[in-house]
Amino acid sequence: MTVLQALRKHWPEYLIEAWALGMFMVSAGVFTVAFEYPESQLRQMIDNADLRRVLTGIAMGLTAIALIYSRPGKRSGAHMNPAITLGFLRLGKINGIDALFYIIAQFAGGVLGVLLVATAFGAAFEQAPVGYAATLPGKAGTEVAFVAELAISAGMMLMVLLVSNSARFATATGVCAGILVAVYISIEGPLSGMSMNPARSFASAAPGGQWQAFWIYCTAPVIGMLAATEVYLRLRGGDRVKCAKLLHPDDVRCIHCNYTPAPEVATPATFDRINSRTGT
């Protein structure tokens, strides 16, 4: 497939990836302002920084779950992360051209999401302590931040591969991902800011010019997730990976495995459903 053919046929999935990470960044920005901006009522009500971080983690975990289980998310596969896309590329489950456009879309969508929040909240979002919700190393330093990012990224990718390819638990992949996001923000956040995602970190760093130790967020998530794919290959083998989607419902197409939903067979039950929708 050529680049032009891919754009003509798969542009909806590319736009979905941009939308998904954009919405994740909007959520991250809104909740960070709500819990960290000094003039916010929630910030004034909750003085404990650890509790605020846990609540932020829960909010972002629920955001991830909502995006993964949304109909658009089910269509693109809800990667929302170049490192995940590269992991599936290594496994041979996504076309190279599709992977390229997924990654471009993720970066673009993330930046647009951050700019939207900046437009809505202005200085409350742009200035410290919120600072564009940037991911920055904690007090333990860059080495610890790098190792932490590598570990949580490997854990996320390994979970995705193990759960999404389990006949029994595949439908719970999104819930497991959301739980990990919440736990990581709550526990690992003070070490690295909890990124796991080069596009997510770039989206905050670019508008705010906060490039401190940005190399961590470009390298550790990719290395961690690619390492997890290698572990899975050796434990289970590539044949066990069904597709590049986190969820693979039967009612939406898949550009990764060329799945197309079968047309609904016209039965009396079908006409009953149509009539009930139209009120006839």
Does any domain span residue 182? Answer: yes
Q: Cα–Cα distance between 150 and 184 in angstroms, integer?
A: 12
Does any domain span residue 166? Answer: yes
Does any domain span residue 275? Answer: no
List the pLDDT tens digit at each of the 280 positions of the chain: 799 899 999 999 999 999 999 999 999 999 999 999 999 999 999 999 999 999 999 999 999 999 999 999 999 999 999 999 999 999 999 999 999 999 999 999 999 999 999 999 999 999 999 999 999 999 999 999 999 999 999 999 999 999 999 989 999 999 999 999 999 999 999 999 999 999 999 999 999 899 999 999 999 999 999 999 999 999 888 788 999 999 999 899 999 999 998 775 444 554 354 344 434 4
- Quote the domain boundaries for residue 223: 7-269
* Residue pair 140/211 in contact by the 8 Å Cβ criterion: no
Does any domain span residue 94? Answer: yes
Does any domain span residue 87? Answer: yes
Does any domain span residue 57? Answer: yes
What's the domain count of the chain? 1
Does any domain span residue 280? Answer: no
CATH number, domain with residue 179: 1.20.1080.10
Buried b (16+ CB within 10 A) or exposed e, 185-218: bbebbbbbbbbbbbbbbbbbbbbbebeebbebbb
Question: Residue 243: which of 7, 75, 71 has the closest Cα?
Answer: 75
Largest CA distance in the chain: 66
Please tell me what DSSP assigns to residue 213. Answer: T
